[in-house]
Structure 1
Amino acid sequence: METKLLSDHAADLLEAAALLQQGKVVGIPTETVYGLAADARNPEAVRQIFAAKGRPADNPLIVHIAEMQALEQVAAVVPPLAVKLAERFWPGPLTMILPKRSDIPEITSGGLDTVGIRMPSHPVARALILLSGVPIAAPSANISGYPSPTTAQHVMRDMHGKIAAVVDGGGCSV
């Protein structure tokens, strides 16, 4: 498989969103590290993340959303305290563990009844989530056990030939 390097321009973001909708894996920037993004509700897409990373399948993935309304599309229950925390710290690098909805596959949650949910502040990550229309599972885009990537070039080095594309959204800021 040839891994495409895409820019953060509109046409490339639409292409990356289409790949996510097709069940492909795309490297994307967040404020902390680059992640391997796939539709969190698509078990086959999520399996591709584990295969690319060499990560054990019982290790849960964080699901990324772009808007507060999407929280209820991932979590079965959203306590008032979770809403307060989200309003205060999202978007940003806060992950909340909440009971998952039944349509979040076990492979995404590592077989748990809960799921980690986060709203990244990186504009490219949020744009791709919105454009694709799906919550995105996105662990770091490194081979399991290696340093987490903070540039698109790092992802291309580690994941070329293993994923469909990488969106270059610049270096991570945190």
Structure 2
Amino acid sequence: MSAGCKSQEAAASGQSSSIYVVVWATWTWFRFAGDQLQLSTEANYGFAAGAIAFLVINAFLMLIAAYRNLVLLFLTTLMEVVLVCFLLSTLNKLPYELEIAMLALVSLICIYGTLASLINFMFSQRVLPLGPPLFKEKMKSEISEELPCPVANSRLTSGLLKIAELLEEGGVCGIPTDTVYALAASCKNPQAIEKIYNIKDRPAEKPICICISSVEQLVAAKPPFSPLLWEFMRNVYPGGISCIVSKGDWLFQLGVGAAYDRVGTRDSIMIRVPDHTVTCHLCDMTGPLAITSANPSGEPDSTHHSMVINRLGHKIQGVLCDGDSNEVVASTVVNCLRIDEGIIGIVREGCVPAAKVQQIFDRVKGTML
């Protein structure tokens, strides 16, 4: 017997016993002291009203017992009959034989239930049967099966492996980043990136960026970036800033592969290096990921994995659950195509203020002179 089952049964028994102590005390007082005190008819009606209240309360206890075990359900059902006897007693219409029979049955079931609970607790197993519940509560595993898509825990290696496998198979998954939740697809699967457009109802003319785990991964691909661009990137990565740079064959060395034509525009590509351990580990497993915010186009960003599941779970293949996001808006997008001319452009102001981005650029530019 699990500790959870024991605590549930103990709670249900405690609820029943506390109510029944009051019932027995009330009935005993009425049964043996009522005649001596010569209670009025109005007083009898008061006890009758109390009996009816106990009947209603016990009906709820019967429902709770139906989710516990048959012995508890049988006891609460007998108590419902006993409470009917109490009501008849207040109206002076209770047959003496019925009273004796019901009290005897309640005594027997109480004795058995007490012994069974005590022995089962001592031996930590069901030595004496209490019977299965009439109704079964849904377990967590059953609830998770009802989710619209598979979910994984970001704090478990098995969770990361599960999502990585789904991405490798061409699936689209919701993942956490250092800003808001994103939809991700492997850059090895152009069809998966196409799915993102359909899932989000995203306009075809809006490009999708790529996410990598570190600047070093970018250095290894040997893109022909100027020293100024490299220095700027090293100052803004990792973090909530995305840089638009010139596209080129170096993306194949980075691992973009067959998805070259499905990410960015014809001449440019936006690169994210999130300051998020989970996302970076995932990118190390899968290679570059094509990502975009995990929300239907035109709607607010998703700031918790439950939002991704509720809004897009029926359309995607999995969600990596990481709780609340670190930000409530997406990254700030910086156009670096003219950076060698001393110019950057803020395409979208996100979690990093435009003024701060400009300060970083001015400082970097100053050191390069």
Instruction: Assess if the C-alpha contact under 8 Å between 2:148 and 2:309 holds in 1.
Output: no
Query: Where do residues 70-149 of structure 1 align in structure 2 (5 Å cutoff)?
Result: 70-71=217-218, 76-102=223-249, 103=257, 104-109=259-264, 111-132=265-286, 134-149=287-302
Q: Percent identity?
A: 32
CA drift of 1:24 comes to: 1.0
Letter in 1 for 2:314: G
Q: Which residue of 2 aligns with 1:6?
A: 152
Partner SS for 2:160: helix
Structure number having the greater strand percentage = 1
| Structure number with larger C-alpha Rg | 2
Residue-by-residue CA offset, 1:94-144 (whole Å, 9 max, x unaligned): 1111112344522222x4310000101111111110111x10111000011
Instruction: Compute the RMSD of aligned alpha carbons.
Output: 1.9
Instruction: Pick from 145, 157, 171 the counterpart of residue 24 of structure 1.
Output: 171
> How many residues were matched structurally?
172
Q: 1:98 to 1:62 in 2, by over 3 A?
A: same
Instruction: Pick from 165, 183, 195 the counterpart of residue 36 of structure 1.
Output: 183
Q: Which residue of 1 aligns with 2:99?
A: none
Partner SS for 2:263: helix
CA drift of 1:43 comes to: 1.3
Q: Which residue of 1 aligns with 2:311?
A: 158
CA drift of 1:75 comes to: 8.0
Aligned partners of 1:21 and 1:92: how far apart in 2?
Answer: 25
Residue-by-residue CA offset, 1:35-78 (whole Å, 9 max, x unaligned): 00011342111001111101012211111100223325778432
Partner SS for 1:139: strand
Q: Which range moved further: 33-42 or 9-18? A: 33-42
Q: Which has the higher contact order (CA 8 A, sep 6+)?
A: 1
* TM-score where L is the length of structure 1: 0.90
Instruction: Pick from 54, 76, 87 the counterpart of residue 201 of structure 2.
Output: 54
Q: Which range moved further: 136-145 or 67-76? A: 67-76
Gaps of at least 5 residues in structure 1 are none
Q: Which range moved further: 79-88 or 157-166? A: 79-88
Letter in 2 for 1:67: S
CA drift of 1:85 comes to: 1.8
Q: 1:108 to 1:73 in 2, by over 3 A?
A: farther
Q: Which residue of 1 aligns with 2:95?
A: none
* TM-score where L is the length of structure 2: 0.44
Aligned partners of 1:83 and 1:121: how far apart in 2?
Answer: 18
Q: Which residue of 1 aligns with 2:74?
A: none
Q: 1:122 to 1:56 in 2, by over 3 A?
A: same
Partner SS for 2:292: coil
CA drift of 1:34 comes to: 0.3
Partner SS for 2:303: coil
Letter in 1 for 2:163: A
Gaps of at least 5 residues in structure 2 are 1-146, 250-256, 328-369
Q: Which residue of 1 aligns with 2:214?
A: 67
